[in-house]
């Protein structure tokens, strides 16, 4: 999950407070187990942990050795073992097997399990079933929000999407509500709340209940953030399915940005080692190009290189004193910049190489055709060829899903043949993948004779049927109709452009997709904030199939008040793409003026 918002004139709240809070709590928990101990860390908690507390802090609190939680017997010889894990059942079984192995060997040690961000009863149940509940002590590390950048927070919960949108499991909603509650206690109450989607609504309600239960504290505080917008990922799958073309998005698509940092391989670093690089606003070079369309990036980088060279060149003709000054003051900065510059140039080259190999232009062309809804047959053929050539399993799927969503499902013939081709190319196990995609509404079949009105009446019946939970069934039984085409028309998502779209000086958010498409999610946010609510968007909301689940909550209408009201926090429930972040940053710059 990510929380981008406009980095602009109004000052951003100090999110590093969240880090300090998490660190203090972790230290407290570690000190609960006095003496030397070995720490077992879940693999995907390692990077977030690294951002909160480095190894030396851990050592200060008597952590002796660090291990990764993996399915291997532990070699640790320490008398005290501490496990830092996500609340997952497989971890519990691992811990239980470890404890039981010790018991068999007649060994007694102390075990402590720290769950992050919270513990689940099911986990304790498993420990109990395995007969080790009495041997371990359990604690919670309520570390739910990691500030990745000055304007970006993440919950680092990769399973959120799968659990909620595929399995209909709502356990993370509580975690989310807690996180929102934490934000409102730290940064003042949010005067305006908007949201769309079922998950957004549930989280919102749970959050408000939490606030009620311990009221008093936040009241009367000056809010630091004016608006909060909750958005379910399934409101807009389209944007997430498009190839990214802003620099940061491309880096993510090519190298995977994890927890705000990226591993650049040898082909980028032009040495024989990989390098882990932190990507955020502190990287001056990156900060300037992250939101740029890729076509501008090379030009910018070479300009930058020339400037750098010029600065280096100044030292010719310097006298001794100037030289001393230069070395002591500027050289370090220049060297740093130089290093970063060469890294990003390397990255660009690597991206170019990969993209040309795949015939990126063709791919983009097909995507745009799908978004605009012409030459469907040709696009379908392209996808089929893509599959036949085994270009990339994930890209093939992405294209299929995009086709399905923009077209309200595939026509039955294509649905069958594409699936058959896919299974032949990439293996029969993907039959299950297709079941899941279908359930999540990502890849569906047009029901024969299913006219728009028929579906609509079905949907509205389900939505009005308050006998709770029935809607969850709608997930599986009735693959959600996306109505993308109609929404696109209503919200004007495909800009009509005469002539070239100038990517250097973008006019609207469409630049993040080469001017071909304005991200739906960001457009909704823009519209709602402009109108300060959902008035006039009824038709869109209806088309999104979320009519009951869009809400606005304006507690007080003191528009005139402080600066801070211009700050907006957008919460994507189920993750977001860097393109969307770039688009929102753009929106912030445009409207924030």
Residues that bind another protein (CB under 8 A): 89-90, 120-122, 125-126, 129, 163, 167-171, 173-174, 177, 202, 205-206, 209, 213, 384-385, 388-390, 416, 419-421, 423-429, 431-432, 435, 468-470, 472-473
| Nearest CB to another protein, comparing residues 261 and 358 | 358
| Nearest CB to another protein, comparing residues 55 and 125 | 125
Distance CA 520, CA 275 (A): 35
Shortest Cβ 319–another protein spacing (Å): 44
Shortest Cβ 335–another protein spacing (Å): 35
| Nearest CB to another protein, comparing residues 173 and 343 | 173
* DSSP state, residue 329: I
| Nearest CB to another protein, comparing residues 324 and 461 | 461
| Nearest CB to another protein, comparing residues 28 and 435 | 435
Shortest Cβ 410–another protein spacing (Å): 12
Q: How many CB atoms lie within 10 A of CB 275?
A: 15
| Nearest CB to another protein, comparing residues 96 and 510 | 96
CA 415 to chain centre: 29
Q: Work out the burial of residue 485: count CB atoms within 10 Å of its CB; fewer than 13 is exposed, 13-18 middle, 19 or more buried.
A: middle
Beta strands 257-258 and 227-232 are unpaired
The phi, psi pair for 188, rounded to 5°, reads 80, 160
| Nearest CB to another protein, comparing residues 413 and 559 | 413
Shortest Cβ 164–another protein spacing (Å): 10
Shortest Cβ 438–another protein spacing (Å): 10
What secondary structure does DSSP assign to 257-321, as a single string?
Answer: EETTEEEE-HHHHTSSS-EEEE-STTSHHHHHHTTSBHHHHHHHHHHHHHHHHHHHHTTTT--HH
Q: List 573's β-bridge partners, or say none.
A: 232
| Nearest CB to another protein, comparing residues 51 and 233 | 233
Q: List 227's β-bridge partners, or say none.
A: 192, 568
| Nearest CB to another protein, comparing residues 184 and 203 | 203
Return the closest-CA partner of residue 567 out of 231, 228, 226, 229. Answer: 226
* Burial per residue of 357-392, b for 16 or more beta-carbon CB atoms within 10 angstroms, e otherwise: eeebeebbbbbbbbbeeeeeeebbebbbebbeeebe
Shortest Cβ 213–another protein spacing (Å): 7
Shortest Cβ 416–another protein spacing (Å): 6
Shortest Cβ 173–another protein spacing (Å): 6
Confirm if 173 and 199 have CB atoms less than 8 A apart.
yes
Distance CA 439, CA 163 (A): 12
Distance CA 292, CA 592 (A): 19
How far is it between the farthest Cα atoms of the chain?
85
Shortest Cβ 130–another protein spacing (Å): 10
């Amino acid at each position: 999950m990510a929380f981008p918002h406009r980095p602009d004139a109004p000052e951003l709240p100090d999110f590093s407070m969240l880090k300090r809070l998490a660190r203090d709590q972790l230290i407290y928990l570690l000190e609960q187990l006095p003496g030397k101990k070995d720490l077992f860390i879940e693999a995907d908690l390692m990077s977030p942990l690294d951002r909160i507390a480095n190894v030396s802090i851990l050592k200060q609190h008597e952590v002796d050795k660090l291990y990764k939680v993996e399915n291997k017997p532990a070699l640790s010889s320490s008398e005290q073992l501490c496990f830092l894990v996500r609340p997952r059942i497989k971890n519990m079984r691992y811990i239980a097997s470890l404890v039981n192995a010790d018991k068999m060997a007649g060994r007694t040690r102390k075990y402590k399990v720290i769950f992050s961000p919270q513990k689940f009863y099911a986990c304790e149940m498993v420990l109990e079933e395995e007969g080790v509940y009495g041997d371990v002590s359990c604690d919670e590390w309520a570390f739910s929000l990691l500030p990745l950048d000055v304007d970006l927070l993440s919950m680092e919960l990769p399973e959120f999407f799968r659990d909620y949108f595929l399995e209909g499991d709502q356990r993370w909603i509580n975690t989310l509500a807690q996180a929102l509650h934490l934000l409102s206690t730290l940064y003042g109450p949010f005067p305006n709340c908007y949201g769309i989607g079922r998950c957004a609504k549930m989280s919102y309600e749970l959050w408000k209940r939490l606030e009620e239960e311990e009221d008093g504290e936040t009241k009367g505080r000056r809010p630091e953030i004016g608006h909060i917008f909750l958005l379910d990922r399934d409101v807009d799958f389209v944007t997430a399915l498009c190839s990214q073309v802003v620099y940061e998005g491309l880096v993510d698509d090519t190298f995977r940005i994890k927890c705000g940092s990226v591993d650049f391989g040898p082909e980028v670093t032009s040495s024989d080692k990989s390098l882990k690089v932190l990507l955020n606003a502190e990287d001056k070079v990156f900060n300037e190009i992250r939101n740029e369309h890729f076509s501008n990036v090379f030009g910018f980088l070479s300009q930058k290189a020339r400037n750098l060279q010029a600065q280096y060149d100044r030292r010719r003709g310097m006298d001794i004193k100037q030289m001393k000054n230069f070395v002591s003051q500027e050289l370090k900065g220049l060297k740093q910049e130089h290093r970063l510059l060469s890294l990003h140039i390397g990255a660009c080259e690597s991206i170019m190489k990969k993209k040309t190999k795949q015939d990126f232009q063709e791919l983009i062309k097909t995507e745009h055709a799908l978004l605009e809804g012409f030459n469907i047959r040709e696009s379908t053929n392209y996808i089929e060829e893509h599959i036949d050539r085994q270009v990339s399993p994930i890209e093939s799927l992405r294209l299929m899903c995009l086709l399905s969503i923009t077209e309200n499902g595939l026509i039955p013939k294509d649905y069958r043949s594409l699936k058959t081709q896919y299974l032949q190319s990439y293996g029969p196990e993907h039959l299950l993948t297709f079941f899941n995609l279908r359930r999540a509404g990502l890849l569906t079949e047009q029901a024969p004779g299913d006219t728009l009105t028929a579906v609509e009446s079905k949907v509205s019946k389900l939505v009005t049927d308050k006998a709770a939970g029935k809607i969850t069934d709608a997930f599986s039984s009735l693959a959600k109709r996306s109505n993308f085409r109609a929404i696109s028309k209503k919200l004007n998502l495909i800009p009509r452009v005469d002539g070239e779209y100038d990517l250097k000086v973008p006019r609207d958010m469409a630049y993040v997709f080469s001017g071909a498409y304005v991200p739906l999610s960001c457009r909704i946010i823009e519209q709602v904030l402009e109108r300060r609510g959902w008035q006039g968007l009824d038709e869109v909301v209806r088309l999104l199939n979320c009519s009951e689940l869009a809400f606005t909550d304006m507690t007080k209408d003191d528009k005139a008040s402080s600066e801070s009201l211009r700050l907006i926090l957008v919460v994507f429930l189920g993750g977001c793409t860097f393109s969307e972040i770039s688009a929102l940053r753009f929106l912030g710059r445009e409207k924030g003026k």
